[in-house]
Amino acid sequence: MHTQSRWTPFAFLTPAVTVLAVVGIYPLIFAAWVSLHTYLLAQPNIPHDLVWLGNYVTVLKDPSFWGAIGRTLTYLLIALPIQVVLGLGIAFMLRRGPWASLRGLARVALVIPLAMTPVVTGLIGRLIFNQEFGVANFLQSRVTGNTVGTEWLGNPTLAFVTILLMEIWQWTPFAALIFLSGLTAVPAEVEEAATLETRSFWVMLRRIQLPFLMPALTAILILRTADILKQFDMVYTLTSGGPGSSTELINLYITRIGLRGAFDQGVASAQAILMLVLTTVLSRLYIRYLYRGDDA
Amino acid sequence: MSLTTRTSDTTAGTALRDADRAARERARRGRGVRSALHAVGLVVILVATLFPFLWMVSTSLKTTSQITAKPPLLVFQGTLEHYRNILGEQYNVGGSLVNSLIVATSATLLAVLLGTPAAYALARFSFKRKDDLWFWFISNRFMSPVVIVLPVYLMASKLRLIGNPALLVAMYLTFSIPIVVWICTDQFRSIPRELDEAAMVDGATPLTIFARVALPLALPGVVVSSILSFIFNWNELLFALFLTRGDGVTAPVRATNFLSGYDVPWGEIMATGTLIVLPVVVFSLLVSRHLVKGLTMGAIK
């Protein structure tokens, strides 16, 4: 042990910490400073006066901000459970049984949505759900006989359903693949012993497999929650937040205020800081109660 | 009497055998039904997963009138005209793909270079507030890019750095380093400590042990985290949208440019989408075995 000094770990950590501090923390401090000032990008002549919490008050009184938060949380609460349940079902279907080559093929196919650029996913959604020639309307007219066609992206509720569908399409495979790797941790002997006691799928799932799947489930919950709260790309190309603001998730709203429409950096920074607080609290809770729960 | 008994015995025996056979038959048919349902389910998964991707590729090969045909065409005479268009000067998708490649590769290499030593320290050494430091690394990934893109945009425009690819590379480290640290910390932990200690007894410095002993053994984790990091870098939009300009834009930004006009050039959009996605899809399929293993995200300890 003679070569390891007290400082060795810091030598390994310093480069990464320094870089992340410069590219992550420094802008964050700057954002906090901007959020306390008047900062209008489009009017550089207006001085950057200190307004204390004025921008935060503006944000908290802004019904559009709460609307965007509400939409984002609704999106999260619908998409995440569906992805988890479907993902778990798919993982079980791919794990064992007959049709080995079909299972292998489906398993490989799951990688495709995962590798898909969210911008492109949104563009594909635009094409498939096009009112005039989209294949979604062709299929629904075949089933329902309604030849007029549904205005998927023109109707507020349906546009929200559409972004949900694309989100579920892209990320359910991710959940399935993580569950699949999680299931490899279940010892075969334990499972075989359990089959002598019960034949019920549910009992097996709850008593035997679920404990082994907890880390996988936690990883999915943490990553998807964080990514949905910062969702931007796919929705930006699919609906750009419209029609009206029916699909304007929180990050689209913040960039609209800060960089695309109002150019009010002060208010946008205050919104971004509030979102950061929300995300940190949520991920802290997840990690505290789930991820490290077993050895805490 | 003995005869009747025997007869009734035989009858009972036959009935039992029949019942047994029927039950086995039912079970067999039940298994058959279940197995058929399983196959149907697998086909549904395959179709649902592949259809949007294949629909994009086929649309990119259709002429404009074929794209808007009603009902949608499944069989058609293909054309490469959209690919010729987007690679020409007007759209310059080729240039944006090169930009994406440069930025994504540089950011990935830097993230591995900086992230693996940090992961090694978090896995091997003990020091105060280690768990908090680990969480701080990971939490950079949870942070919305919007939070930092606003101030970075302001600072970069003052310093005239907007459009500089180095700026984008630096910003991509905010989500690449965390993913490398997350995956590699667990990977280093799974390597037996005795190997490090043996090398230490031989007088190797910590840096040599890290580079010569630990890193080669952690290679699967390093590979997976660089693949994931590359995919995230390649796909990123928000930073690129506000921090690049003109010829410096990355491919996802170029793809969003098509949406500004009234006349939507569907063929060109789908051809661009195919060119953005295809290299990553092919690459991911090639390494999917490793990718799936790495997706345990530290689930198996």
Return the residue matching tokens 């998730």.
A249
A157 occurs within a structural domain: yes
DSSP letters spanning B266-292: HHHHHHHHHHHHHHHHHHHHHTHHHHH
Structure-block tokens of residue A269: 């920074």
Question: A40 — phi, psi (to 5°)?
Answer: -105, 115
For residue A140 the two structure tokens come to 């629904």
> Would you place residue A13 in the very low, low, confident or very high pLDDT band (cuts 50, 70, 90)?
very high
Contacts A1 to B, Cβ<8 Å = 197, 200
- Residue B16 to residue B10: CA distance in whole angstroms: 10
* Model pLDDT for residues A31-42, shown as the tens digit of each residue: 999 999 999 988
C-alpha distance across the termini of chain B, in Å: 72
Give the mean model confidence (pLDDT) for residues B51-68.
93
> Which one is the CATH code of B90-298: 1.10.3720.10, 3.40.1280.10, 3.40.50.720, 3.10.20.600?
1.10.3720.10
For residue A163, the distance in angstroms to the closest alpha carbon of chain B comes to 14
The domain tally of chain A equals 1
pLDDT in tens, B249-292: 999 999 999 887 778 899 999 999 999 999 999 988 888 877 77
Question: Is A229 within a domain?
Answer: yes
Q: Determine the pLDDT at residue A200.
A: 81
* Euclidean distance between CA atoms A250 and A236, whole angstroms: 12
Report the pLDDT value the prediction gives residue B11, as an integer from 0 to 100: 65
CATH number at residue A238: 1.10.3720.10
Q: Is B146 a residue whose pLDDT tops 50?
A: yes
Select from B140, B150, B237 the Cβ nearest to the Cβ of A269.
B150
| Record: contact B146-A182, CB cut-off 8 A | no
Secondary structure percentages of chain A, helix, strand, coil, to 5: 75, 0, 25
Which among A226, A239, A209, A215 has a CA at the least distance from the CA of A171?
A: A226
Domain-embedded: residue A191: yes
The nearest alpha carbon in chain B to A253 belongs to: B146
CA gap B282, B260 in Å, rounded: 30
The Cα of B4 is separated from the nearest Cα of chain A by a number of Å equal to: 41
Residue A176 DSSP SS3:
helix
Q: How many CB pairs under 8 A join A and B?
A: 313
Taking all residues of chain A, what is their mean pLDDT, rounded to a whole number? 89
Which among A3, A97, A185 has CB closest to B38? A97
Give the chain A residue nearest B272 (alpha carbons): A120
Any domain includes A221:
yes
Question: In this complex, do A120 and B296 lie within 8 Å of one another by their Cβ atoms?
Answer: no
- What confidence tier does A87 reach under pLDDT thresholds 50, 70, 90? very high
Q: Is A264 helix (H, G, I), strand (E, B) or coil?
A: strand
| Residues of B in Cβ contact (< 8 Å) with A185 | 299-300
Q: Decide if A138 and B70 are in contact by the 8 Å CB cutoff.
A: yes
The distance from CA B134 to its chain's CA centroid, rounded to whole angstroms, is 23
Nearest by Cα to A215 from A169, A182, A247: A182
Residue with the larger pLDDT of the pair B198 and A64 = A64
Task: Out of B124, B177, B234, name the one closest to residue A20 (CB).
Answer: B177
- Which has more pLDDT, B30 or B144? B144
The reply to whether A251 falls in a domain is: yes
From B149, B174, B293, residue closest to A181, measured CB to CB:
B293
Region A136-153: mean pLDDT is: 83
Q: Distance from A20 to chain B by nearest Cα, in Å?
A: 6
In a domain, A242, yes or no: yes
More confident: A161 or A150? A161
- Closest residue in A to B268 (Cα) is A123
Element (H, E) at B20: helix B2-60
Could you tell me which residue, A189 or B171, shows the higher pLDDT?
A: B171
d(CA B188, CA B119): 7
Contact between B297 and A223 using a beta-carbon 8 Å cutoff: yes
Beta strands in B110-215 (DSSP E): none
Q: Per-residue pLDDT for A232 more than 60?
A: yes
Q: Do A214 and A188 form a contact (C-beta atoms < 8 A)?
A: no
B-chain residues near A13 (CB < 8 A): 117-118, 121-122, 133
* Interval B4-46: pLDDT, tens: 445 555 566 677 677 777 777 777 777 788 889 999 999 999 9
DSSP string, A201-237: HHHIIIIIIHHHHHHHHHHHHHHHHHHHHT--HHHHH
Question: Looking at this protein, which amino acid is placed at residue A269?
Answer: S
Q: Which residues of A141-175 are buried (b: 16+ CB within 10 A; e: fewer)?
A: beeeeeeebbebbeeeebbbebbbbbbbbbbbbbb
| A56 lies in some domain | no
**Which residues are paired to A37 by β-bridges?**
A50
| Residue B6 falls in which region: left (phi positive, over 0), alpha (psi -120 to 50) or beta | alpha
Task: Point out the least confidently predicted range of A140-154, A268-282, B233-247.
Answer: A140-154
Alpha-carbon distance of A150 to A130, in angstroms, equals 9
Interface test with B, best of A23, A37, A137, A212 (most B CBs within 10 A): A23
| Chain B neighbors of A216, CB-CB under 8 A | 296-297, 299
Please answer yes or no on whether B285 and A108 come within 8 Å at the CB atom: yes
Task: Work out the widest C-alpha separation in chain A, in whole angstroms.
Answer: 80
The predicted structure's pLDDT at residue A289: 76
Contacting residues for A111 by C-beta, under 8 A, at least 6 apart: A173, A177, B281, B284, B285, B288, B291, B292
Exposure on the CB side of residue A102, measured as CA atoms within 13 A: 19
Residue (of B152, B163, B291, B296) closest to B227 by Cα position:
B291
Q: Which domain holds residue A93?
A: 63-290
Enter the tokens of residue A124: 């594909």
A166-175, A283-292, B265-274: the lowest-pLDDT one: A283-292
Rg over CA atoms, chain A: 24
- For residues A265 and A41, what is the distance between their CA atoms, to the nearest angstrom? 7
Interface touch A90/B45, C-beta < 8 Å: yes
- The CA distances from residue A62 to A59, A66, A67, B73, in Å, are 5, 7, 9, 47
Q: Two tokens at B118?
A: 């940090």
Q: Is residue A46 part of a domain?
A: no
Which residues in chain B are closer than 8 Å to A177, comparing Cβ atoms?
291-292, 295
Which residue is closest to B133 within chain A, CA to CA?
A: A17
Q: How far is B10 from chain A (nearest CA, A)?
A: 33
ipTM of the shown complex: 0.90
Residue contact B203–A3, C-beta within 8 A: yes
The two tokens of residue B199 are 């090398």
CA–CA separation, B185 and B295 (whole Å): 14
What is the DSSP-derived secondary structure letter of residue B91?
T
Helix (H/G/I), strand (E/B), else coil: A95: helix
Contacts B280 to A, Cβ<8 Å:
115-117
User: Rounded to 5 degrees, what are φ and ψ at A50?
Assistant: -75, 120
Q: For residue B179, give both structure tokens.
A: 């993913």
pLDDT confidence of residue A124: 96
Q: Which two tokens stand for residue B31?
A: 């298994």
